[in-house]
Amino acid sequence: MDFEQLSQLEAIARAGTLSAAARTLHLSQPALSRSLQRLETELGQPLFDRPGRRLVLNEAGRVALDHAGRLLREEQAMRTALDDVARRTRALRVGTVAPAPLWRLTSLIVERFPGLMLTSQTLGREEVEEGVVSGELDLGISLRPHPLPTVRSTWLMVENLAVALPAGHALAGSKQVTAAELDGETFLLLADIGFWRERCDTYLPHAQFVVQEDRDVFEQLTQSTDMPYFVTDAPSLAVPRPGRVVVPIRDAMAHATFYLLHRPDGRREAERIFDWVRHQAD
């Protein structure tokens, strides 16, 4: 269970239908439905009665929603307090849709601006873009150049997804695989992978995901189980374990281009970083 699921619970309760809540959250209805099913499974009971197409909170759902609201308010209070600390320490606030491009940005900053501090959040694309426009974020990492002329955009990196299969797997000898060929497998999955999780839910609807929050536990399980897991060509994720075969995924869903966003009237430090990243891309 995570804060995203709690926010989704609130949205479904307000909207009354999955389709309306999905539009509000900018998610596909199947992805939202699966997320709700996971939450109900984790809590051990249904949270909604389902008359027709509507979803109506039952007693358990009302209790869960009450606690969810308090947890989300506490989370927001924590973020506000941390933002105050960031302003006092002059750290730059960065929103990113995935972890790998943030690591790339950090490496570029360390190379050119040693000592400069960042605070980061993993957000949806719309939240990143809105944060840059509003000034809540000093820099954003998104999946597209920003459409508004008031925001500057520059190429940051490309990330390509592959699957690490046991050497004896039926697909291990393939030069490439498709999402359709992988659908139905049980995958080991690291939490907090940003937009990649929604792509997994969308393009592998019949797959099962064993999600690990702790990276050390995830790394141990990659060695002790035969479950497939995903790797990318991001440097820290590209090295396969012994006994594994890395097979690229052919579909467009497995390839992402990331862009750095910056508002020209923002902080001078952010402008200098943006110009340095753009210079490296030229």
**Listed residues 77, 103, 129: the one ending a domain:** 77
Overall average pLDDT of the 213-233 stretch: 89
Q: What is the pLDDT of residue 243?
A: 85
Q: Are residues 161 and 229 in the same domain?
A: yes
Number of Cβ within 10 Å of residue 80's Cβ equals 10
**What stretch of H or E contains 142?**
strand 139-142
Q: 7 lies in which domain range?
A: 3-77
Q: What is the pLDDT of residue 1?
A: 72
Q: Are residues 63 and 155 in the same domain?
A: no
The verdict on residue 82 lying in a domain is no
172-192 pLDDT per residue, tens: 999 999 999 999 999 999 888
Does position 89 have pLDDT exceeding 80, yes or no? Answer: no
The verdict on residue 31 lying in a domain is yes
Q: Are residues 50 and 18 in the same domain?
A: yes
**Listed residues 36, 55, 77: the one ending a domain:** 77
The verdict on residue 254 lying in a domain is yes
Q: Are residues 96 and 18 in the same domain?
A: no
CATH of the domain at 69: 1.10.10.10
Q: Are residues 45 and 20 in the same domain?
A: yes
Higher pLDDT: 123 or 84? It is 123
Provide the token pair at 214. Answer: 């702790």
The verdict on residue 14 lying in a domain is yes
How far apart CA 14 and CA 115 sit, in angstroms, is: 45
CATH of the domain at 121: 3.40.190.290
Q: Are residues 214 and 116 in the same domain?
A: yes
The verdict on residue 206 lying in a domain is yes
Q: Are residues 69 and 106 in the same domain?
A: no
Query: Which burial class, exposed, middle or buried, applies to 155 when counting CB atoms under 10 A from its CB (0-12, 13-18, 19+)?
Result: middle
Does position 30 have pLDDT exceeding 70, yes or no? Answer: yes
Q: Are residues 115 and 57 in the same domain?
A: no
Which whole-number Å values give the CA distances from 127 to 2, 148, 162, in the listed order? Answer: 18, 15, 27
Q: Are residues 21 and 54 in the same domain?
A: yes
The verdict on residue 84 lying in a domain is no
Q: Are residues 7 and 116 in the same domain?
A: no
Rg of the chain (C-alpha set): 20
250-281 pLDDT per residue, tens: 999 999 999 999 999 888 889 999 999 999 87
**Listed residues 77, 104, 136: the one ending a domain:** 77
How far apart CA 222 and CA 37 sit, in angstroms, is: 26
260-281 core/surface letters (b: 16 or more CB in 10 A; e: else): bbbbeebbebbbebbeebbeee
Does position 239 have pLDDT exceeding 60, yes or no? Answer: no
Give the list of residues 6+ apart from residue 258 with CB closer than 8 angstroms, or none: 97, 98, 100, 101, 104, 141, 142, 143, 155, 156, 157, 158, 159
Q: Are residues 57 and 120 in the same domain?
A: no
Q: What is the pLDDT of residue 27?
A: 83
222-237 core/surface letters (b: 16 or more CB in 10 A; e: else): beeeebbbbbbebeeb
Higher pLDDT: 143 or 78? It is 143
The verdict on residue 85 lying in a domain is no
What is the chain's mean pLDDT, rounded?
89
Number of Cβ within 10 Å of residue 79's Cβ equals 12
pTM of the model: 0.69
Q: Are residues 271 and 144 in the same domain?
A: yes
Nearest C-alpha neighbor of 166 from the set 183, 146, 186? 186
Query: Domains in the chain: how many in total?
Result: 2
The verdict on residue 83 lying in a domain is no
Give the list of residues 6+ apart from residue 80 with CB closer than 8 angstroms, or none: none
